Amino acid sequence: MRLYVNISTILFLALFSCSGKGDDATPYISMPTPPVDKGWSFESAAFWQDEFNYTGKPDSTKWGYDVGGSGWGNNELQYYTNSANNASVAGGKLSITLRKEDFGGRSYTSARLVTRDKFDFLYGRVEIKAKLPGGKGTWPALWTLPTDYAYGNWPSSGEFDIMEHVGYDPNVIHVSAHTEKYNFKLNNGKTGIRTIDNVTTQYHLYRMDWTPYSIKGYVDDVLLLEYVNDGSGSTEWPFDKRFHLLFNIAFGGDWGGAHGLDTNIFPATMDVDYVRYYKMIDK
């Protein structure tokens, strides 16, 4: 009589008997390994930039617009337009201007410039030299969002705020990272805060350094936040896909309007002297 044993059965038995402990054996599960900080650096010459050394509307090869007055998820009061009345370049600077005027069913207009599908980047250094608007209710931001939302809608695919400021808390700069696990709606967002004199009357340098190991946010070369990749996956580190830049001024909303509005501040303007992007040097 011929004895026939299926090879898959042999492999199955071998797998579960190799420990010599039978049913009491604990299977080995490999844990994710956090990335190693390789000390990445950045190129000295900008790969992409806008020095705003022209006159007119923002360069259409570099900038697009988010347009509308939907509240933008934060109950904001402005209508974002693509008008030169709200975003223009002259005198070596970009000016984003918040105005009190009726448009699109809203009482205020502003602009939200984006580099989406014109300049998207994965890792690197971003430098932005800007002077911020003042006044209770203003909410300017220099920030980034994912271009492809590979891990799902906000906040699953991430957000990094290079600079946020609310007018009711003058001169206080916020740098923040938002992910599925850590975000402001869970009240556990990762944020660095610094008080700086004269943010509405003088230019300051806002910077992001992004590598596979971490994202760092600086103001005037002082580190405010380092958000580190712990290797646990996209719920904590969705920052391995391409992102783009956004510059805007919101008015009111859940944060900007939390302490009321000053309706005598208009027009309120954020001026940007330059924005520069430097590639990461891989190792």
Point out the catalytic residue in the list 159, 180, 226, 236.
Answer: 159
Contact (Cβ atoms closer than 8 angstroms) between residue 162 and residue 211? no
Point out the catalytic residue in the list 76, 127, 164, 180.
Answer: 164
Query: Could you confirm whether 164 is annotated as catalytic?
Result: yes
3-state secondary structure the chain: CCCCCCHHHHHHHHHHHCCCCHHHCCCCCCCCCCCCCCCCEECCCCCEEECCCCCECCCCCCCEECCECCCCCCCECEEECCCCCCEEEECCEEEEEEEEEEECCEEEEECEEECCCCCEECCEEEEEEEECCCCCCEEEEEEEEECCCCCCCCCCCCEEEEEECCCCCCCEEEEEEECCCCCHHHCCCEEEEEECCCCCCCCEEEEEEECCCEEEEEECCEEEEEEECCCCCCCCCCCCCCEEEEEEEEEEHHHHCCCCCCCCCCCEEEEEEEEEEECEECC
Residue 151, by phi and psi: left (phi above 0), alpha (psi -120 to 50) or beta?
Answer: alpha
Closest CA to 161 of 149, 138, 178: 178
- Residues in CB range of 267: below 8 A, 6 or more apart: 97, 98, 99, 100
Query: Could you confirm whether 236 is annotated as catalytic?
Result: no
Show which residues are catalytic.
Answer: 159, 164
